[in-house]
Amino acid sequence: MDWLPDHLEHNRAVGFILLKPDAVLRGITGDVIEFLEGVGFRVINFRIGRLPDNIFQRIYGPSFRWDLDYWSLNKEAYEYGPVIGVLLWHASMNLKEGQQAQTFLSEQKGSALPGDQKPGTIRAKFRATSRVFNILHVPDNIETGQYEALAWFGKVLGKSIQAASAQFPVSSGAPLKSHRSIIETEVRLHGYSESHQFDGVLLYFLIKVRLLHAIEKQSNPSADFHNIVNAIRNLYLATVTELGNASGDISLRMQALRVSFEREEQFISSFLTQDVSNVLEPEDSVAFHQVLKLIVAINQRLRIPGPTLDFFWQMMSHWRVYVSKLERYVVTTALIYPYGTTK
CA distances from residue 30 to 35, 88, 188, 264 in whole angstroms, order as listed: 9, 14, 11, 32
Looking at the structure, tell me whether residues 60 and 133 fall in a common domain.
Answer: yes
Looking at the structure, tell me whether residues 206 and 151 fall in a common domain.
Answer: no
CA distances from residue 53 to 56, 106, 249 in whole angstroms, order as listed: 5, 24, 42
Please count the structural domains in the chain: 2
Looking at the structure, tell me whether residues 40 and 107 fall in a common domain.
Answer: yes
Domain around 20: 6-178
Looking at the structure, tell me whether residues 201 and 332 fall in a common domain.
Answer: yes
**Structure confidence by residue, pLDDT tens digits, 75-117:** 888 999 999 999 998 866 455 655 688 889 999 998 777 777 7
Looking at the structure, tell me whether residues 163 and 198 fall in a common domain.
Answer: no
Going by pLDDT thresholds of 50, 70 and 90, the confidence category of residue 138 is: very high
Looking at the structure, tell me whether residues 139 and 208 fall in a common domain.
Answer: no
Contact between 245 and 253 under an 8 Å Cβ cutoff? The reply is no
What average pLDDT does this structure show over 196-216? Answer: 83
Contact between 235 and 260 under an 8 Å Cβ cutoff? The reply is yes
Looking at the structure, tell me whether residues 14 and 142 fall in a common domain.
Answer: yes
**Structure confidence by residue, pLDDT tens digits, 167-182:** 555 444 445 567 888 8
Looking at the structure, tell me whether residues 198 and 131 fall in a common domain.
Answer: no
pLDDT over 70 at 210, yes or no: yes
CA distances from residue 57 to 53, 134, 242 in whole angstroms, order as listed: 6, 19, 42
Looking at the structure, tell me whether residues 131 and 10 fall in a common domain.
Answer: yes
pLDDT over 70 at 6, yes or no: no
- Percent of the chain beyond pLDDT 90? 20
Question: Range with the lowest mean pLDDT among 55-64, 93-102, 126-135?
Answer: 93-102
Is 278 within the bounds of a domain? Answer: yes
Output Rg (C-alpha) for the chain, integer angstroms: 21
pTM reported for the whole predicted model: 0.82
Is 343 within the bounds of a domain? Answer: no
CATH code for position 166:
3.30.70.141
pLDDT over 70 at 7, yes or no: no
Query: Which of 178, 201, 217 is the endpoint of a domain?
Result: 178
What average pLDDT does this structure show over 261-269? Answer: 71
What average pLDDT does this structure show over 221-230? Answer: 73
Query: Which of 178, 205, 221 is the endpoint of a domain?
Result: 178
The amino acid at residue 210 is: R
Distance CA 288, CA 147 (A): 29
Is 184 within the bounds of a domain? Answer: no
Alpha helices for 174-309 (secondary structure H): 180-189, 200-219, 223-245, 250-272, 282-303
Looking at the structure, tell me whether residues 147 and 254 fall in a common domain.
Answer: no
Distance CA 331, CA 173 (A): 48
What average pLDDT does this structure show over 270-285? Answer: 61
Task: Give the number of other Cβ atoms within 10 Å of residue 335's Cβ.
Answer: 18
Looking at the structure, tell me whether residues 10 and 149 fall in a common domain.
Answer: yes
Query: Exposed, middle or buried, 161 (CB in 10 Å: 0-12/13-18/19+)?
Result: buried
